Amino acid sequence: MIKKYKGFVFDLDGVLTETSNAHFEAWRELATEMGFELPGHVIDEVRGISRLESLDIVLSYDHKPKEYSYDEKVALATRKNNLYLDKIKAYSQADLSEGTIELLELLKSNHIRIALASASNNAPFLLDAMKIKHYFDAVVDPKSISNGKPAPDIFLKACEMLDLEPHECVGIEDAEAGIESIKSAGLYPIGIGKLSNCEEVYPDLKSLLSHLL
């Protein structure tokens, strides 16, 4: 199937590296500091969702809900980010999902263009830390996108930056919101992990690599 496409657009968290747990642990610690518990399934609810939108989801689990001003919300989201940064500060190539380098090399040797469509403002740091930045022909800045996943914007922008039409590209995601985004943008969706809204799903990146080889 690899020869059918000219571009591959990757999500980062939960696809190229297993940072979804670190994101969730940071939210859980924030909730604990605020005096409430976060159930385990919230990990899937915040997958692919921007920092401030994720905060609203997290706050909805407070049994004594409060009203927060925008500035208070920004302060809470910043606190979560600091907790998260502490967890990823020592990330290196060893933290890549198994098969990542081989997959990126395979795409390069087939002259396939590669882009990143991550909602995370920490993505450039991680690409650098994990030493894979040079594989990417385009990295979408989530700040340049008006509507986050599940809206199509970020995947459309990635295709535009690659100078390709969406139907010429594959999108790879671990989040239901991300798969929705890929589908509405018109790329071919591939899921990683457990997803109910995608036909072609692999348990991990290594399995996708084996399929492509």
CB 16 within 8 A of CB 10: yes
Residue of 13, 44, 153, 174 marked catalytic: 13
Are the CB atoms for 190 and 208 separated by under 8 Å? yes
**Listed ranges 45-53, 66-74, 104-112, 160-168: which one lies at the site for ligand G6P (CB under 6 A):** 45-53
Query: Could you confirm whether 11 is annotated as catalytic?
Result: yes
Q: What is the identity of the amino acid at 150?
A: P
Residue 81 binds which entry of ligand G6P, Mg ion, none, CB below 5-8 Å type-dependent:
ligand G6P
**Cα angle for residues 142, 20, 16 (degrees, 5° grid):** 70
Respond yes or no: is residue 141 known to be catalytic: no
Per CB under 6 A, does 47 bind ligand G6P?
yes
Nearest approach, Cβ of residue 148 and Mg ion (Å): 12
Instruction: Choose from Mg ion, ligand G6P, none: what does 121 bind? Cβ within 5-8 Å by kind.
Output: ligand G6P
Binding of residue 116 to ligand G6P (CB under 6 A): no
Q: Which residues contact 119 (CB under 8 A, 6 or more apart)?
A: 48, 49, 50, 142, 148, 149, 154
**Starting from the edge strand earliest in sequence, which strands make up the sheet with 7-10, in order?**
138-139, 113-116, 7-10, 169-173, 188-192, 201-202
> Could you say which residues in the range 66-95 bind ligand G6P, by CB under 6 A?
81
**Interface ranges with Mg ion (CB under 5 A):** 11, 13-14, 48, 174-175
| Residues assigned a catalytic role | 11, 13
